[in-house]
Amino acid sequence: MEQKTYIKGVGMTKFDYSQKHWWQLAYEAAIEALKDAKMNISEIDAIVFTGMSSASGGEHQTHKVSLLSGLFKVNIPIIETPSVCGGGGVAFWTALHLQGFKNILVLAGERLVDNKSEVVTDEILSAAERVIEQPEGMLFPVQNALVWQMYAKKYGGSTDDLSLIAFKNHQNAALNPNAYFYKRPMDLEKVKNSPEVASPLRLMDCSLSVNGGAAVILSHEETDIEVIGSGFATDFLMTFEREDMTHFHATRKASKMAYEQAGVGPKDINVAEIHDAFTSVELLSYEDLGFAEEGRGGELIRSGKINLNGEMPINPSGGLKAKGHPISATGLAQIYEITKQLRGECGERQAKNAKIGLTHNIGGAGGSVTVHIFKKK
């Protein structure tokens, strides 16, 4: 980032099972972001869009940029940057690196959950290795269950810690009107006794696939929220081909880049939104992002420091786990949350003294990772 970049506006839809089209969800989020920025669409110089939008019912559209041109009645450059679950972060990273545009709308809309769960699962699995790993039974929960087992074998590790993560995120989501589990906190015992899907991961260790849209307006015009760090790294599609299966190397690399650029370290972060596609991923990410030492992520969740009333709340929005995970929209919804936290606009789920915030967005099982750091003026 050669020029200073700021967040001018944010918007998102409620995350749920709405059967609105992906472009309707994107449009709603964009309108909210424009209102938040007190801007008109004519002031936007470019749009970066991301989405899987598989819509297994048959309305899949690959020429989305043209559809968006008609939707917003603009003829500006529109770029699409698909990167599955990490699409939001990658779109944001792309917008940060675009030269010659003052105001950029970064946008996502997903209606992936529109069919039987087996069909939706299969659509989501197109984000993972189809030829070698999936025929061997590697669905995302299975892959992550095995990664967790490799971690537990190396460092020890208790599934009770994973339950605490699910419990924390559900408590937070209950306070977030945009979360699927708003006003529906989850009992810890219910988390621990939920059905096993891929041992040792249980249903309540898995994030919730939902539909939704999110939007962020980036600007080179100064606002109260500055983007101070940005990192993007990739890794092999096949989890078990990587040198170290117990952690996500791309998270480590992306966060190192973001911290260096921002001139801050993990201890300076006051609030974070982490990609908790599975509770085990959140725990491993504590270590990959430098919030905990290697093998000691469990201690962090047990300490209470990352609860909403702790020193550095993690996933105050409820995370993917309980706010919901509309694939590509997730990364932008994380930025929405951190922007609102830094502005002090989060009401009941407001983190204390939030001055510097971090977002961490993963595509696939650690195949593409972005980390962004934001600072309140």
Partner 1 sequence: MEVVVSSKVSIPSLSHMNVPYFANVVKDEKGNFFAYKSEEKIDKVELKSNPDSVAIFKVKYDIIEGLENIFKLLEVSLNENSKILVIPTLVSAGYTYMRENTSPEFLEAVLDFLLEKKVNIKVGTQSFNDIPVEGLAQKSGLLDVCLKKSITPFDLGKSNFIKKEELELSEEVLNADLVLNLSVLKAGKAASTDNIFKVLKKENYSGLKYLQSEKEISEKLSKTLSNVVTVGEAETVQRKNGIAKYLGLMFGGKSFLNVDAIFNRVIMNKNVPETIKEINPESIIVSGRSIMEVEQDIDI
Q: Does 43 bind partner 1 (CB under 8 A)?
A: no
Smallest gap, in angstroms, from Cβ of residue 52 to partner 1? 17
What number of chain residues touch partner 1 (CB under 8 A)? 33
Residue 145 sits in the site that holds partner 1 (CB under 8 A): yes
Nearer to partner 1, 198 or 289 (CB): 198
**Contact call for residues 32 and 12 (beta carbons, < 8 A):** yes
372 is known as an active-site residue? no
Please tell me whether residue 197 binds partner 1 under the rule CB under 8 A.
yes
The active-site residue out of 21, 85, 275, 372 is 85
Binding mask 214-243 for partner 1 (x = CB under 8 A): ------------------------x-xx--
Q: Which residue has the tokens 């001018």?
A: 8
Contacting residue, 130, 183, 184, 190, with partner 1 by CB under 8 A: 130
Q: Does 58 sit near partner 1 (CB under 8 A)?
A: no
Residues 70-129 that bind partner 1 (CB under 8 A): 118-119, 121-122, 125
359 binds partner 1 (CB under 8 A): no
- Least distance from C-beta 157 to partner 1, angstroms? 12
Instruction: State the Cα–Cα distance between residues 313 and 322, nearest whole angstrom.
Output: 15
The DSSP output letter for 2 is -
Measured from the CB atom, the residue of 8 and 325 that comes closer to partner 1 is: 325
SS3 of residue 350 by DSSP = coil
Cβ closest to partner 1, residue 141 vs residue 319:
141
- For 121, counting Cβ atoms within 10 Å of its Cβ (0-12 exposed, 13-18 middle, 19+ buried), the class is middle
| Helix 159-173, helix 279-288: angle, nearest 10 | 100
**Residue appearing with tokens 């962020």:** 216
The yes-or-no answer on residue 247 being catalytic is no
Nearest one of 209, 85, 84, 202 to 145, comparing CA atoms: 202
Q: 36-40 long-range contacts, Cβ below 8 Å, gap at least 24?
A: 36/8, 36/9, 36/10, 36/11, 36/217, 37/8, 37/9, 37/217, 37/219, 38/9, 39/8, 39/9, 39/103, 39/217
- Rg of the chain's alpha carbons, rounded to an integer? 19
CA distance 185 to 323: 11
Q: Which of 40, 135, 267, 309 binds partner 1 (CB under 8 A)?
A: 135
Q: Considering the complex, what minimum distance in angstroms separates the CB of residue 121 from partner 1?
A: 5
Footprint on this chain of partner 1 (rule: CB under 8 A): 118-119, 121-122, 125, 130-139, 141-142, 145-146, 149-150, 153, 195-201, 238, 240-241, 245
Q: Which residues are catalytic?
A: 85, 325
